[in-house]
Amino acid sequence: MEIRSLGFRTDLLLLELGGSEFTDTGEYVVVRTPDNPGYWWGNFLLYRTPFAPGDVETRLDAFHRELPAATHVALGIDGVDGVVGAEDEVVAAGFEVARDVVMTTSEVVPPSRPNEEATYRFLSGDDDWEQLVQLALATAPREVDDGYIEFTRRGLESRRSLVEAGHGKWFGAFEGERLQSSLGLMFDGKGLARFQTVQTHPDDRNKGLASTLVHRASTYGLTEGGAKTLVMVADPDYLAIGIYRALGFTDSETQLQLSVPPGS
Protein backbone atom coordinates (compact mmCIF):
# COMPACT_ATOMS: atom_id res chain seq x y z
CA MET A 1 0.00 0.00 0.00
CA GLU A 2 1.73 3.15 -1.21
CA ILE A 3 1.14 6.36 0.77
CA ARG A 4 2.85 9.61 -0.28
CA SER A 5 2.26 11.65 2.86
CA LEU A 6 4.85 11.04 5.55
CA GLY A 7 2.30 12.19 8.12
CA PHE A 8 -0.31 9.66 7.07
CA ARG A 9 2.28 6.97 6.40
CA THR A 10 3.47 7.14 10.00
CA ASP A 11 -0.15 7.48 11.24
CA LEU A 12 -1.08 4.25 9.49
CA LEU A 13 2.02 2.51 10.81
CA LEU A 14 0.98 3.26 14.38
CA LEU A 15 -2.65 2.41 13.73
CA GLU A 16 -1.66 -0.94 12.24
CA LEU A 17 0.54 -1.75 15.22
CA GLY A 18 -2.41 -0.89 17.47
CA GLY A 19 -4.76 -3.30 15.69
CA SER A 20 -6.54 -1.06 13.17
CA GLU A 21 -7.71 -2.58 9.90
CA PHE A 22 -7.14 -1.21 6.38
CA THR A 23 -8.93 -1.81 3.10
CA ASP A 24 -7.34 -0.33 -0.03
CA THR A 25 -9.97 0.31 -2.70
CA GLY A 26 -7.55 2.04 -5.05
CA GLU A 27 -9.35 5.38 -4.90
CA TYR A 28 -9.10 5.52 -1.12
CA VAL A 29 -7.98 3.54 1.92
CA VAL A 30 -10.57 2.67 4.56
CA VAL A 31 -9.16 2.79 8.09
CA ARG A 32 -11.17 1.05 10.82
CA THR A 33 -10.40 0.78 14.54
CA PRO A 34 -13.13 -1.50 15.92
CA ASP A 35 -11.91 -1.20 19.51
CA ASN A 36 -12.25 2.61 19.51
CA PRO A 37 -15.13 3.69 17.23
CA GLY A 38 -15.09 7.23 18.67
CA TYR A 39 -11.54 7.81 17.42
CA TRP A 40 -12.07 9.96 14.32
CA TRP A 41 -8.56 9.46 12.93
CA GLY A 42 -8.73 5.75 13.54
CA ASN A 43 -11.96 5.52 11.53
CA PHE A 44 -11.64 7.49 8.31
CA LEU A 45 -11.14 7.37 4.56
CA LEU A 46 -7.80 8.43 3.09
CA TYR A 47 -8.30 9.65 -0.48
CA ARG A 48 -5.43 9.64 -2.93
CA THR A 49 -6.53 12.78 -4.81
CA PRO A 50 -7.92 16.21 -3.89
CA PHE A 51 -11.62 17.00 -4.30
CA ALA A 52 -12.76 17.67 -7.85
CA PRO A 53 -15.89 19.81 -8.31
CA GLY A 54 -18.92 17.70 -7.37
CA ASP A 55 -16.96 15.15 -5.31
CA VAL A 56 -18.34 16.11 -1.90
CA GLU A 57 -21.57 14.15 -2.07
CA THR A 58 -19.86 11.09 -3.56
CA ARG A 59 -17.20 11.06 -0.85
CA LEU A 60 -19.73 11.56 1.93
CA ASP A 61 -21.75 8.64 0.57
CA ALA A 62 -18.59 6.50 0.46
CA PHE A 63 -17.73 7.35 4.07
CA HIS A 64 -21.18 6.41 5.37
CA ARG A 65 -21.19 3.23 3.28
CA GLU A 66 -17.78 2.11 4.54
CA LEU A 67 -18.25 3.23 8.17
CA PRO A 68 -22.03 3.11 8.74
CA ALA A 69 -21.82 3.24 12.55
CA ALA A 70 -19.71 6.42 12.65
CA THR A 71 -21.35 9.57 13.98
CA HIS A 72 -18.52 11.75 12.65
CA VAL A 73 -17.06 12.17 9.17
CA ALA A 74 -13.28 12.12 8.69
CA LEU A 75 -11.49 12.24 5.34
CA GLY A 76 -7.80 12.59 4.64
CA ILE A 77 -6.06 13.54 1.40
CA ASP A 78 -2.80 11.78 0.63
CA GLY A 79 -0.85 14.83 -0.52
CA VAL A 80 2.09 16.89 0.67
CA ASP A 81 1.13 20.44 -0.35
CA GLY A 82 -2.13 21.14 1.50
CA VAL A 83 -4.30 21.31 -1.63
CA VAL A 84 -7.93 20.36 -0.87
CA GLY A 85 -9.24 20.86 -4.39
CA ALA A 86 -12.80 22.19 -4.53
CA GLU A 87 -12.36 23.78 -1.11
CA ASP A 88 -15.38 26.11 -1.34
CA GLU A 89 -17.66 23.10 -1.82
CA VAL A 90 -15.95 21.20 1.00
CA VAL A 91 -16.35 24.07 3.48
CA ALA A 92 -19.95 24.70 2.38
CA ALA A 93 -20.73 21.06 3.21
CA GLY A 94 -19.70 21.67 6.82
CA PHE A 95 -16.18 20.25 6.81
CA GLU A 96 -13.52 21.65 9.10
CA VAL A 97 -10.21 21.78 7.23
CA ALA A 98 -7.05 21.15 9.26
CA ARG A 99 -3.64 21.72 7.73
CA ASP A 100 -0.90 20.41 10.00
CA VAL A 101 2.82 20.77 9.38
CA VAL A 102 4.85 17.59 9.04
CA MET A 103 8.29 18.35 10.47
CA THR A 104 11.46 16.25 10.29
CA THR A 105 15.03 16.29 11.52
CA SER A 106 18.05 14.02 11.71
CA GLU A 107 19.73 16.02 14.48
CA VAL A 108 18.62 18.31 17.28
CA VAL A 109 20.09 21.23 19.17
CA PRO A 110 19.66 21.79 22.91
CA PRO A 111 16.87 24.11 24.09
CA SER A 112 17.89 27.66 24.93
CA ARG A 113 16.06 27.46 28.26
CA PRO A 114 16.29 23.86 29.50
CA ASN A 115 14.41 22.81 32.60
CA GLU A 116 16.85 21.14 34.98
CA GLU A 117 14.45 20.88 37.92
CA ALA A 118 12.19 18.09 36.70
CA THR A 119 13.02 14.40 36.70
CA TYR A 120 12.91 12.87 33.21
CA ARG A 121 12.17 9.17 32.76
CA PHE A 122 10.10 6.62 30.90
CA LEU A 123 6.56 5.98 32.10
CA SER A 124 6.22 2.69 33.93
CA GLY A 125 3.50 1.11 36.00
CA ASP A 126 -0.20 1.71 36.41
CA ASP A 127 0.15 4.96 38.37
CA ASP A 128 2.21 6.64 35.65
CA TRP A 129 -0.25 5.63 32.93
CA GLU A 130 -3.24 6.73 35.00
CA GLN A 131 -1.52 10.09 35.45
CA LEU A 132 -1.15 10.23 31.67
CA VAL A 133 -4.92 9.76 31.31
CA GLN A 134 -5.52 12.65 33.71
CA LEU A 135 -2.95 14.82 31.90
CA ALA A 136 -4.68 14.12 28.59
CA LEU A 137 -8.03 15.14 30.08
CA ALA A 138 -6.53 18.29 31.62
CA THR A 139 -5.23 19.34 28.19
CA ALA A 140 -8.29 18.21 26.20
CA PRO A 141 -9.12 20.37 23.16
CA ARG A 142 -12.85 19.87 23.70
CA GLU A 143 -15.43 19.46 26.44
CA VAL A 144 -14.69 16.43 28.59
CA ASP A 145 -17.72 14.16 28.84
CA ASP A 146 -18.11 10.42 29.45
CA GLY A 147 -17.61 9.66 25.77
CA TYR A 148 -14.39 11.65 25.61
CA ILE A 149 -13.07 10.00 28.78
CA GLU A 150 -13.75 6.56 27.28
CA PHE A 151 -12.08 7.59 24.01
CA THR A 152 -9.03 8.86 25.90
CA ARG A 153 -8.67 5.73 28.01
CA ARG A 154 -8.97 3.43 25.01
CA GLY A 155 -6.43 5.43 23.05
CA LEU A 156 -3.89 5.39 25.87
CA GLU A 157 -4.44 1.69 26.50
CA SER A 158 -3.49 1.13 22.85
CA ARG A 159 -0.39 3.33 23.19
CA ARG A 160 0.66 1.53 26.36
CA SER A 161 0.32 -1.78 24.54
CA LEU A 162 2.62 -0.50 21.78
CA VAL A 163 5.21 0.58 24.33
CA GLU A 164 5.04 -2.71 26.21
CA ALA A 165 5.37 -4.60 22.91
CA GLY A 166 8.64 -2.76 22.25
CA HIS A 167 7.48 -0.43 19.46
CA GLY A 168 8.34 2.77 21.29
CA LYS A 169 8.80 4.66 24.51
CA TRP A 170 6.67 7.10 26.49
CA PHE A 171 8.61 9.87 28.20
CA GLY A 172 7.60 11.98 31.17
CA ALA A 173 8.80 15.00 33.08
CA PHE A 174 8.01 14.65 36.78
CA GLU A 175 7.99 16.82 39.86
CA GLY A 176 8.59 14.14 42.45
CA GLU A 177 6.15 11.49 41.28
CA ARG A 178 3.69 13.96 39.69
CA LEU A 179 3.57 13.89 35.89
CA GLN A 180 3.98 17.40 34.45
CA SER A 181 4.65 16.81 30.75
CA SER A 182 4.77 13.80 28.44
CA LEU A 183 5.20 12.54 24.90
CA GLY A 184 5.52 9.29 23.00
CA LEU A 185 8.11 8.27 20.41
CA MET A 186 7.30 5.28 18.21
CA PHE A 187 9.68 3.51 15.83
CA ASP A 188 9.07 1.80 12.48
CA GLY A 189 12.22 -0.32 12.74
CA LYS A 190 13.49 1.09 9.44
CA GLY A 191 14.92 4.41 10.58
CA LEU A 192 11.81 6.53 11.20
CA ALA A 193 10.54 7.60 14.61
CA ARG A 194 7.23 9.44 15.05
CA PHE A 195 6.39 11.69 18.00
CA GLN A 196 3.02 11.30 19.69
CA THR A 197 1.01 13.74 21.80
CA VAL A 198 3.37 16.29 23.28
CA GLN A 199 1.45 17.77 26.22
CA THR A 200 2.13 19.76 29.39
CA HIS A 201 -0.26 20.31 32.28
CA PRO A 202 -1.69 23.86 32.28
CA ASP A 203 -0.17 24.46 35.74
CA ASP A 204 3.31 23.59 34.45
CA ARG A 205 3.55 25.55 31.21
CA ASN A 206 6.20 28.17 30.40
CA LYS A 207 8.82 26.31 32.43
CA GLY A 208 10.79 24.84 29.52
CA LEU A 209 9.47 21.34 30.18
CA ALA A 210 8.20 20.52 26.69
CA SER A 211 11.34 21.71 24.88
CA THR A 212 13.58 19.83 27.31
CA LEU A 213 11.47 16.67 27.02
CA VAL A 214 11.39 16.79 23.21
CA HIS A 215 15.16 17.28 23.11
CA ARG A 216 15.81 14.38 25.48
CA ALA A 217 13.42 12.08 23.62
CA SER A 218 14.95 13.12 20.28
CA THR A 219 18.44 12.40 21.53
CA TYR A 220 17.30 8.98 22.71
CA GLY A 221 15.58 8.28 19.39
CA LEU A 222 18.64 9.17 17.31
CA THR A 223 21.03 7.17 19.49
CA GLU A 224 19.69 4.23 21.49
CA GLY A 225 16.48 4.17 19.46
CA GLY A 226 18.34 3.73 16.18
CA ALA A 227 16.28 6.28 14.23
CA LYS A 228 17.75 8.24 11.34
CA THR A 229 14.81 10.63 10.92
CA LEU A 230 12.42 12.01 13.52
CA VAL A 231 8.88 12.99 12.46
CA MET A 232 6.71 15.53 14.29
CA VAL A 233 3.24 16.68 13.15
CA ALA A 234 2.27 20.10 14.52
CA ASP A 235 -0.52 22.66 14.36
CA PRO A 236 0.94 25.66 12.49
CA ASP A 237 -1.12 28.07 14.61
CA TYR A 238 -0.06 26.71 18.00
CA LEU A 239 2.97 28.16 19.79
CA ALA A 240 4.60 24.72 20.25
CA ILE A 241 5.66 24.69 16.61
CA GLY A 242 8.22 27.36 17.44
CA ILE A 243 9.70 25.06 20.09
CA TYR A 244 10.18 22.28 17.55
CA ARG A 245 11.77 24.60 15.00
CA ALA A 246 14.15 25.96 17.62
CA LEU A 247 15.27 22.39 18.37
CA GLY A 248 16.12 21.75 14.72
CA PHE A 249 12.90 20.40 13.16
CA THR A 250 12.12 21.77 9.70
CA ASP A 251 8.84 21.91 7.77
CA SER A 252 8.65 19.09 5.21
CA GLU A 253 4.99 18.62 4.20
CA THR A 254 1.43 19.68 4.91
CA GLN A 255 -1.01 17.03 6.16
CA LEU A 256 -4.70 17.51 5.31
CA GLN A 257 -7.51 16.28 7.55
CA LEU A 258 -11.17 17.13 6.84
CA SER A 259 -13.81 16.43 9.46
CA VAL A 260 -17.44 16.94 10.37
CA PRO A 261 -18.06 16.49 14.12
CA PRO A 262 -20.95 14.36 15.39
CA GLY A 263 -24.27 16.18 15.35
CA SER A 264 -23.18 18.74 12.77
User: Residue 58's domain is classified under what CATH number?
Assistant: 3.40.630.30
What is the structure's pLDDT at 238? 85
Rounded distance, CA 15 to CA 33, Å? 8
Between 247 and 240, the higher pLDDT residue:
247
The answer to whether position 69 is within a domain reads yes
- Supply the pTM of this predicted model: 0.92
According to the model, what pLDDT value does residue 245 have? Answer: 97
Helix (H) or strand (E) holding 151: helix 146-164
Q: 48 pLDDT exceeds 90?
A: yes
| Cα 6 from Cα 228, distance rounded (Å) | 14
Same domain as 68, residue 146: no
Domain match, 66 and 161 both: no
Q: Are residues 152 and 86 in the same domain?
A: no
pLDDT confidence of residue 37: 87
Residues 77 and 124 in one domain: no
Residue 263 lies in a domain: no
In a domain, 75, yes or no: yes
Is the same domain home to 149 and 192? yes
Could you tell me if residue 168 is inside a domain?
yes
DSSP-based three-state secondary structure for 105: strand
CA atoms within 13 A on the CB side of 89: 14
Residues 44 and 18 in one domain: yes
Percent of the chain with pLDDT over 90: 88
pLDDT mean across residues, the chain = 95
Structural domain for 194, as ranges = 119-247
What is residue 228's predicted lDDT score, i.e. its pLDDT? Answer: 97
- 243: enclosing H helix or E strand: helix 240-246
142 has a pLDDT exceeding 80: no
Burial class of residue 56 in the structure, from the number of CB atoms within 10 Å of its CB (0-12 exposed, 13-18 middle, 19+ buried): buried
Q: Are residues 156 and 86 in the same domain?
A: no
Number of domains in the chain: 2
Q: What average pLDDT does this structure show over 14-38?
A: 93
User: Can you point out the beta strands (E) in 130-234?
Assistant: 168-175, 178-187, 192-200, 229-234
* 127 and 230 housed in the same domain: yes
Return the pLDDT at 144.
84
